[in-house]
Structure formats: structure tokens, C-alpha cells
A and B are shown apart, each in its own frame.
Chain A
Amino acid sequence: MAEGDLAAPDLGAIAADSHGERAVGRPTVYVYEAPVRICHWVNALAIIVLMITGYLIGSPLPSVAGEASEHFGMGYIRFAHFAAGQVLAVFFLARILWAFVGNHHSRQIFYIPVHRKQFWSEVLHEIRWYAFLEREPKMYVGHNPLAQTAMFTGFTLFVTFMICTGFALYSEGEGIDSWQHALFGWVFSIWPNSQDVHTWHHVGMWALVTFVTVHVYAAIREDIMSRQSIISSMISGERQFRDEV
């Protein structure tokens, strides 16, 4: 497996050569395989549904009048939340499995190479780039080191946290003998009072809101500023390196 995610040497040369000059071509690399892209968009959709319905479970819509048998508003909202949650869990799991069989880019969001000095110096470089202290960004085929750190924390860790607390809360309705309780009941050993689990699950939602904000902003910005395709890459799977500034 190719350690790190720097562009292949020839690409690096092209990137360097392109500085101030017209490059010879627009090289394209296949980065995101189909399962990665499918998981990305399914998860993105599920997370949006989860955020909206989750917020409405914490702060329900205004009360409706009439007979209880005529309405099922809260029930549908909760159903959407539970359904989207399970979809997210399944596709997150599928994404983890794909990390074992996919290309090395598919493994990127599941670890941070903390032991590599070069990784951290490149993280620093990216931070300086975002702080407007670097004039030129480095080019990467996959995620840049800062993005990798953000994806690992903001997506992998946060979503894992949400899946664990979410299934633990779901197990309360399913019952103490359910498989959900058998698998995720340990959450209640950390917070014996389910109200606390609700609270932290809710905080987790806001943590994901901040991640999604930064994620979307960084993707759009990099698309414009780094002279490489970001957003269309998650649709076509191919990363194109452009030369124009």
C-alpha cells in the first residue's frame, strides 16, 4: 500500500512545473471508487434527515388539536429518524468493509498516521495555507493531511459516537432483551441516566453540523483555490488537476 497520500511523483512534477507556466495537460486520477461515492451521498442524505428529525424530536412541532387517533406526526418523525439512522449505520459499516478491499484512498478517513513526522509538518503547511500564510497549496490525490484529520475526527469519530449512542437510545424502546441493547447497552454504563445519553447525542448532532459546515466550505474553497477538482470528484470519482490560477 502506498503510504501517505501525496500525489504520484509525475503529478508532483506537473504541479510544480505548472507554477507560472502553462502545464502540458490536465492529468486525471481515479480516486473515489463507486462504493465510496455511493456511501458518501447516502450518508450525506441520511445525516441531513437525521439532523432535521432529531432536532424535531428534541423540540417538537407545535401541538395539534383533535383526537390522538387522527394524527401520527411525532410517530412519523421518529420513524424517519430511526430509519435514517439504520441506513446510516448500514452504509457506515459497508464503508468500513470497503476500506479493506478498496484502493488506499478508501482507507484514508479511518486513521491518522500520528507516528509520521512528515504528516504533521504537512498538516502545519495546510493550516498555514488556510491562515493565508502560504501562497500555494500542495497537491494531493486524496485528502490533504489536514482534511484527513478533519474527516477522521469529524466524520469517523463523530458518526461512530452517534451510532453508538443512537442505537443505545433506540434499544430503550426495543427492550432490555433486544440485540440493540446487547450490543450498545454499555453506553448506559457510562451514563446511567438515559437523559444524559439524550443530551450527548444532541450535542453530537451539533458537532456534526459544525463538521458539515466546514466540510462543505472546504470542498468548495479547495475546488476553486487548489486547482484540482473536489466536488465533481465525489460524483465521477476522478480528480482532475487544473493548471489555471
Chain B
Amino acid sequence: MGAGTETFYDVIRRQGITRRSFHKFCSLTATSLGLGPLAATRIANALETKPRVPVIWMHGLECTCCSESFIRSAHPLAKDAILSMISLDYDDTIMAAAGHQAEAILEETRAKYKGQYILAVEGNPPLNEDGMFCIDGGRPFVEKLKLMAEDAQAIIAWGACASWGCVQAAKPNPTQATPIDKVITNKPIIKVPGCPPIAEVMTGVVTFITTFGRLPELDRQGRPKMFYSQRIHDKCYRRPHFDAGQFVEEWDDEAARKGFCLYKMGCKGPTTYNACSTVRWNGGVSFPIQSGHGCIGCSEEGFWDKGGFYDRLTNIKQFGIEKNADQVGMAAAGVVGAAVVAHAAVTAAKRLATKRDDADHTK
């Protein structure tokens, strides 16, 4: 994959795809991105005229589950996205080149496409000990990240690692693994959280950026609104059971067999922003709740440090010991209640004593 000056349309025409199929793809993509009817023609126009966007895909502290998810995208097919729409110039996990040859591509892209390429980061840099916990190509990953971020147009933070830190940042975080937006502060960053993110969400984001040459609309946390503006709970097919008050109480009870709401089993659907309950996984086959397991909230900040995945009320650590809100609150209310009772008792005793004193005085 070399210089990417040709357009997406050039590439697919060369691959023997008809113009008709190309337009079908454009309207289908516009629909999946939730765009209006005019967007299809805009996408077609962009893909016909704009040179393909060079993408540098880097891996920090991570498990590659984002890559695994990405290559399983059913629509648009990852093959289309990777091979045609973008010019994936560098991805050390799946590229053919290796060693110095591979590293040379970084320098080449940086020089040739200054301010134009997209930097996609999977995983995050550990900052402790000058970044020595993640060495990539003979130098700390954090240095490579900063270097490539300098001339990037925008940065995609793939997954919970790049977005929030994920398990390598779990307390006490000995390597000081740090999400991308805490390290790179002067570039537009789009967070695509999830562990991993849904494949169609990833390719959808790439499609949008390459088509329109800008980041999609982001929410307060820097996530694309089109996929992260609603909670799992809002579109969950078990939601009627929640509103009815029908809950699974034990993993092997009748309610579990009937597919009732997993709220009491600690499902984090009500607090998790993702597209799982609409887009689902593996080409729309299923998603965790459909398989009978609660959502663990893997696209949310700090989900790895909130105590049990199976607890409704998660732990508070600010009080030194790990207790949930009810345990802390009931203890406080209990202490105050007992203090009030004791105070009332002392008051009554004192009052009696005072009255007796007064009575003695008047005698």
C-alpha cells in the first residue's frame, strides 16, 4: 500500500465494481450513519473526487481486540474500508512490511501528508519510567505517539484503552497507562470506546471521516453522537420487562429463562452509551443481553474499577473501604439516628434532674 493519491472510486472501478454497486454502497452507508437522503450523493461525490485519506494505525498497551473486531465488520465490509476507502499506510499488526522498512513508512507519511493523515491509535501509552513499559520499534511508544500526532489531521482513539485507559490503567495503575486525550491535547480526538468497539461502529466512523474529511459530531465525552448518544437500556429489547418490574433475581430462575430484565443482576445497560442493542454484534447476530448476560459497561469510563459486574450498586472508594451507597448511607443514617436517640435520652434525664433541683431550691 503505497502513495494514496487515487480516489476510492478509482480503486473500486479497477477492482471491477460497477458504478451501480458503488451508488448502492453510498446510499447504504448514508443510511447506516443515520444521514439524510441527500447524503448518499454527497458521499458518492466525495469518494469520486477526494484522494483517499492516509491512515496510520498504531498499537500501544492493548490486546488487539479492536483490530479483531474491525476486521469482522459486516457492513461496510472491512475489506472495502481498509483496501479501498482509506489508504492504510501503516499498521504494524497486519501490514506486510516489517522492521526498518515498516518504520520508514511512518517518516514517509509524516513528510508527504503533513496535516492530512489520520492517526488511529489502539491502546494507550504508559507514562511511568519515561514510557519504558511499552517499547515499540526500539523507543517508548509515547514518543512515537507524540511524534506521529504532531502532523496528524485528527486522531481516532480506538477502544476503551485509548479512550479511558481500560484494565491496564486499573488501580493502582503501576505503569501509569494514560488515555490518548490526556497525552495529546492539541489535536481533535474522536473516542470510539468499547472493549472492543462494535465493528460496524468502527468502519462507520472511518467511512464518515474519509467521506467528509472531518470528524462526525461528537458528544461531551468526545464520542461520535451517531453511535454513542443513547444507552444500551434505551433500545434494549428487554426494556418492557424493566418497566413492568420483571427482573431476573437468580441466574437459574424462571425469570432468567423467560428473558426478563437483568437490572438486578448488575446489568450496566442503564449507564452505558453504545450501539450494542441496535447494531448488535457479529453482523447483527446477538449482543450480551440477548445472550442472557448483563452489560458490563465496557465502553464507559472506569468500568474496570467499579467493583462487581454483577452488582446493581457499585462501590465507592472515597471512604477508604469499598462499600456501596446503601452500606455507606445506612451506616451514616444509623449513627446519626443512634446519636439522636442518645441525645434525646440525655436531654430527658437532664431535664428531670434540673426540675428536681428547681424543686429543691423552692422548698
Q: In whole angstroms, what is the CA distance A149 to B38 when docked? A: 60
A213 to chain B, nearest CB (A): 5
Q: In whole angstroms, what is the CA distance A61 to B246 when docked? A: 9
B344 lies within 8 A of A199 (CB): no
Does B106 have its Cβ within 8 Å of any Cβ on chain A?
no
Does A73 have its Cβ within 8 Å of any Cβ on chain B?
yes
B223 to chain A, nearest CB (A): 10
A210 lies within 8 A of B332 (CB): yes
Does A217 have its Cβ within 8 Å of any Cβ on chain B?
yes
B244 lies within 8 A of A60 (CB): no
For A205, what are the chain B residues with a Cβ–Cβ distance below 8 Å?
A: 325, 329
Provide the A45-58 mask, 1 if CB < 8 A to any CB of B, else 0.
Answer: 00000000000001
Given contact pairs A176-B219, A199-B325, A60 touches B229 in the complex (Cβ within 8 A): no
Given contact pairs A176-B225, A205-B329, A206-B325, A189 touches B346 in the complex (Cβ within 8 A): no
- Choose one: A65, A175, A195; the contact of B268 (CB below 8 Å): A195
Which one of B1-9, B119-127, B298-306 is at the interface? B298-306
Does B330 have its Cβ within 8 Å of any Cβ on chain A?
yes
B243 lies within 8 A of A202 (CB): no
In chain B, what residue has the closest Cβ to A191?
B301
Does B150 have its Cβ within 8 Å of any Cβ on chain A?
no
In chain B, what residue has the closest Cβ to A70?
B244
Given contact pairs A62-B249, A210-B332, A213-B340, A132 touches B244 in the complex (Cβ within 8 A): no
Does B113 have its Cβ within 8 Å of any Cβ on chain A?
no
Does B24 have its Cβ within 8 Å of any Cβ on chain A?
no
- Choose one: B240, B270, B344, B350; the contact of A217 (CB below 8 Å): B344
Provide the A104-146 mask, 1 if CB < 8 A to any CB of B, else 0.
Answer: 0000000000000000000000000010100000000000000
Instruction: From B248, B264, B326, name the one whose CB has the most chain A CB atoms within 10 angstroms.
Output: B326
In chain B, what residue has the closest Cβ to A74?
B245
For A75, what are the chain B residues with a Cβ–Cβ distance below 8 Å?
A: 243-245
Does A194 have its Cβ within 8 Å of any Cβ on chain B?
yes
Given contact pairs A195-B271, A199-B316, A209-B333, A71 touches B244 in the complex (Cβ within 8 A): yes
For A58, what are the chain B residues with a Cβ–Cβ distance below 8 Å?
A: 312-313, 325-326
Does B260 have its Cβ within 8 Å of any Cβ on chain A?
yes
Q: In whole angstroms, what is the CA distance A207 to B273 when docked? A: 29
Does B144 have its Cβ within 8 Å of any Cβ on chain A?
no
B156 to chain A, nearest CB (A): 18
Given contact pairs A63-B260, A206-B332, A185 touches B220 in the complex (Cβ within 8 A): yes
How many residues in A have their beta carbons less than 8 Å from beta carbons of B?
A: 48
B247 lies within 8 A of A63 (CB): yes
Q: In whole angstroms, what is the CA distance A178 to B346 when docked? A: 53
A68 lies within 8 A of B246 (CB): yes
- Choose one: A61, A176, A194, A203; the contact of B229 (CB below 8 Å): A176
CB under 8 Å from chain A, chain B span 269-313: 270-273, 297, 300-303, 306, 312-313
Does A214 have its Cβ within 8 Å of any Cβ on chain B?
yes
A203 lies within 8 A of B302 (CB): no
- Choose one: A130, A173, A206; the contact of B343 (CB below 8 Å): A130
CB under 8 Å from chain B, chain A span 158-192: 172-173, 175-176, 185, 188-189, 192
For A77, what are the chain B residues with a Cβ–Cβ distance below 8 Å?
A: 245
- Choose one: A71, A175, A195; the contact of B300 (CB below 8 Å): A195
For A74, what are the chain B residues with a Cβ–Cβ distance below 8 Å?
A: 242-245
How many residues in B have their beta carbons less than 8 Å from beta carbons of A?
A: 58
B344 lies within 8 A of A206 (CB): no
CB under 8 Å from chain A, chain B span 327-363: 328-330, 332-333, 336-337, 340, 343-344, 346-347, 350-351, 354, 358
In chain B, what residue has the closest Cβ to A206?
B329
For B225, what are the chain A residues with a Cβ–Cβ distance below 8 Å?
A: 176
Q: In whole angstroms, what is the CA distance A175 to B301 when docked? A: 19
Given contact pairs A63-B247, A188-B221, A209-B333, A68 touches B326 in the complex (Cβ within 8 A): no
For B240, what are the chain A residues with a Cβ–Cβ distance below 8 Å?
A: 68-69
B300 lies within 8 A of A193 (CB): yes
Does B116 have its Cβ within 8 Å of any Cβ on chain A?
no
Q: In whole angstroms, what is the CA distance A63 to B255 when docked? A: 8
For A196, what are the chain B residues with a Cβ–Cβ distance below 8 Å?
A: 302, 306
Does B64 have its Cβ within 8 Å of any Cβ on chain A?
no
A221 lies within 8 A of B336 (CB): no
Does B263 have its Cβ within 8 Å of any Cβ on chain A?
yes
For B316, what are the chain A residues with a Cβ–Cβ distance below 8 Å?
A: 199, 203
Q: In whole angstroms, what is the CA distance A63 to B231 when docked? A: 23
Given contact pairs A63-B260, A209-B333, A203 touches B246 in the complex (Cβ within 8 A): no
Does B91 have its Cβ within 8 Å of any Cβ on chain A?
no
B221 lies within 8 A of A202 (CB): no
A59 to chain B, nearest CB (A): 7
For B260, what are the chain A residues with a Cβ–Cβ distance below 8 Å?
A: 63
For A194, what are the chain B residues with a Cβ–Cβ distance below 8 Å?
A: 231, 270-273, 300
Q: In whole angstroms, what is the CA distance A214 to B341 when docked? A: 10
A207 lies within 8 A of B340 (CB): no
A63 lies within 8 A of B246 (CB): yes
- Choose one: A189, A198, A206, A245; the contact of B271 (CB below 8 Å): A198
B243 lies within 8 A of A72 (CB): yes
- Choose one: B244, B270, B330; the contact of A68 (CB below 8 Å): B244
A158 to chain B, nearest CB (A): 13
B14 to chain A, nearest CB (A): 41
Given contact pairs A58-B313, A221-B347, A188 touches B268 in the complex (Cβ within 8 A): no
The 8 A-B residue pairs with the shortest CB-CB distance in the complex, in nearest-first order: A206-B329, A73-B245, A202-B325, A71-B244, A192-B301, A194-B271, A75-B243, A68-B240
**Could you write out 5 A-B pairs with CB less than 8 Å apart?**
A59-B326, A199-B314, A206-B326, A210-B333, A221-B343
